[in-house]
């Protein structure tokens, strides 16, 4: 069972440069503030900051070794990624296919477009309704050893070759990946891009019934001691359906980030209160991740007008969606996300930022804090200009001198105090209640026995006050966060 504590999300090289640096950072600053660590892909990879893995059996040597991964798992819940939809075109599996064609033992792992069309006796227009995060065509052309070319499915980029997850060959490799990750004492496997993994004509090819069958198969080959987390950006009802299927134990609350931004922008808690009242507690709560701030995830929870004005506000605060409007050549701008750090999205307002984190930490679920958010990082326009990759605005790599400067910020110290309270106060193991309040306020209360912890957030004043029973003295404490 996962610890009911805050988790850190970080790349293996973003806090000092290596996995050992990540461990040192946690030991120095977070030992009493977190209960888990999500290490973003540390595998050898050809693109997308690790999400075009060559394999899941190795640690990229520039990051460290498996012992560095296991060292973190000794003291903290460990979350790792299984890229369920694709592998890198440079992987040994795909390269063997390019060298040997249909004679390769891995040939059936990959989705040749012509084979898929023939299998279903359709033309390419049968896939016109495919749901994708990019506007480009969903396939790429590759040259085989004999001079022939093949169109192969690539939902994301030409570095990321889609897998035929229904083939025997793919499932054999997938099980090998799962078994190896489990042997490293992981607690939670995040199924990256799993919603795109099965293709059928005349459908969206996104979370169709056959996709749920695949996820159920993954659950069947993963020990019950290891939980599964589905990474799905879609309407809130989709997350509920995913949990109800029983194939995963956890989903993300990707609705919360934009709902919270809207609440702080508008001064109204109405939409947030509605969501808190209907959402599942089996959610990983986030405000920021390595991806963008979800927009499609609030479908039905915010009106199109509310989404538009909130997005415009974030753009005015520097989100790179505004670069699209000015014609700047930035690749990989998402069709359903805003690219910004969360601190910058809030106008780099310390009080608004702490109010947002208070909301995140006090609603049911396990909260995760992205390393850039932990350090109150601002939009990295220099990195964005260098790479022309929209998401890199929120993926700054911190050197140790930068870490030391960031940790000295008052807003970071305020956030750390809040994280320690959330991770250690016994009230959070008890019962949650959303208490009545005026439209511009949220009152979130946890109670366990005689112990309680209550947050009162004033959205118009951007102020959060916490009242709680001190765990050692038994005194009633009232503090502005």
> Closest by alpha carbon to 233, among 308, 156, 165, 342?
156
Q: Long-range CB contacts (< 8 A, 24+ apart) of 90-94?
A: 90/46, 90/54, 90/159, 91/53, 91/54, 91/55, 91/161, 92/54, 92/55, 93/173, 94/161
Three-class SS string for 351-399?
Answer: HHHHHHHHHHHHCCCEEEEEHHHHCCCCCCHHHHHHHCEHHHHHCCCEC
**What is the rounded end-to-end Cα distance, in angstroms, of the chain?**
30
Q: Determine which one of 192, 297, 380, 458 is catalytic.
A: 192
Q: Determine which one of 68, 77, 164, 231 is catalytic.
A: 231
Instruction: Count how many residues are written for the chain.
Output: 481
Known active-site residue 431 = no
- Core vs surface per residue 72-109: b (16+ CB within 10 A) or e: bbeebbbbbbbbbbbbbbbbebbebbbeeeeebebbbb
Tell me the sheet residues that pair with 398: 15
Q: For the CA atoms of 249, 251, 252, 255, what is the dihedral angle to 10 degrees?
A: -140
Q: In the structure encoding, which two tokens stand for residue 12, read together?
A: 């293996």
Known active-site residue 231 = yes
Residues 192, 190: Cα–Cα separation, whole Å = 6
Phi-psi label, residue 21: left if phi above 0, alpha if psi -120 to 50, beta otherwise: alpha
DSSP state of 296: G
Enzyme catalytic residues: 192, 231
């Amino acid at each position: 069972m996962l610890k009911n504590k805050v988790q850190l999300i970080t790349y293996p090289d973003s806090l000092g440069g290596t996995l050992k640096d990540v461990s040192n950072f946690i030991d120095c600053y977070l030992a009493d503030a977190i209960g888990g660590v999500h290490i973003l892909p540390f595998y050898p990879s050809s693109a997308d900051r690790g999400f075009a893995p060559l394999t899941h059996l190795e640690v990229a040597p520039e990051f460290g070794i498996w012992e560095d991964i296991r060292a973190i798992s000794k003291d903290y819940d460990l979350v790792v990624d299984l890229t369920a939809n694709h592998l890198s075109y440079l992987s040994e599996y795909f390269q063997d296919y390019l060298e040997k064609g249909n004679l390769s033992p891995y040939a059936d792992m990959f989705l040749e477009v012509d084979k898929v069309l023939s299998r279903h006796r359709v033309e390419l227009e049968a896939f016109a309704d495919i749901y994708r995060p990019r506007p480009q065509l969903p396939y790429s052309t590759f040259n085989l050893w004999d001079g022939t070319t093949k169109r192969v499915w690539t939902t994301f980029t030409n570095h990321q070759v889609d897998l035929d997850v229904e083939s025997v060959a793919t499932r054999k490799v997938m099980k090998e990946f799962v078994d190896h990750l489990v042997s490293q004492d992981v607690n939670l496997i995040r199924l990256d891009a799993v919603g795109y993994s099965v293709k059928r004509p005349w459908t969206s090819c996104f979370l169709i019934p056959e996709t749920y069958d695949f996820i159920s198969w993954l659950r069947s080959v993963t020990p019950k001691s290891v939980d599964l987390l589905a990474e799905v950006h879609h309407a809130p009802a989709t997350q509920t359906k995913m949990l109800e299927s029983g194939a995963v134990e956890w989903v993300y609350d990707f609705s919360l980030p934009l709902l919270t931004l809207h609440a702080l922008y508008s001064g109204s808690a109405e939409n947030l209160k509605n969501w808190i009242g209907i959402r599942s507690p089996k959610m990983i709560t986030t405000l920021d991740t390595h991806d963008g701030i979800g927009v499609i995830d609030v479908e039905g929870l915010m009106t199109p007008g509310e989404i538009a004005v909130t997005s415009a506000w974030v753009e005015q605060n520097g989100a790179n969606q505004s670069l699209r409007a000015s014609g700047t050549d930035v690749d990989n701008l998402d069709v359903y996300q805003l690219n910004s750090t969360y601190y910058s999205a809030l106008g780099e307002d310390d009080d608004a930022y702490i109010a947002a984190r208070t909301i995140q930490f006090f609603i049911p679920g396990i909260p995760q804090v992205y390393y850039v958010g932990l350090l109150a990082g601002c939009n990295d326009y220099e990195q964005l200009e260098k790479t022309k990759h929209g998401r890199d605005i929120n993926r700054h790599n911190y050197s140790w001198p930068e870490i030391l400067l960031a940790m000295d910020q008052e807003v970071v110290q305020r956030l750390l105090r809040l994280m320690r309270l959330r991770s250690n106060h016994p009230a959070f193991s008890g019962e949650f209640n959303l208490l009545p309040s005026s439209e511009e306020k949220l009152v979130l209360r946890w109670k366990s026995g005689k112990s309680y912890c209550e947050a009162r957030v004033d959205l118009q004043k951007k102020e959060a006050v916490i009242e709680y029973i001190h765990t050692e003295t038994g005194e009633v404490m009232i503090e502005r966060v």
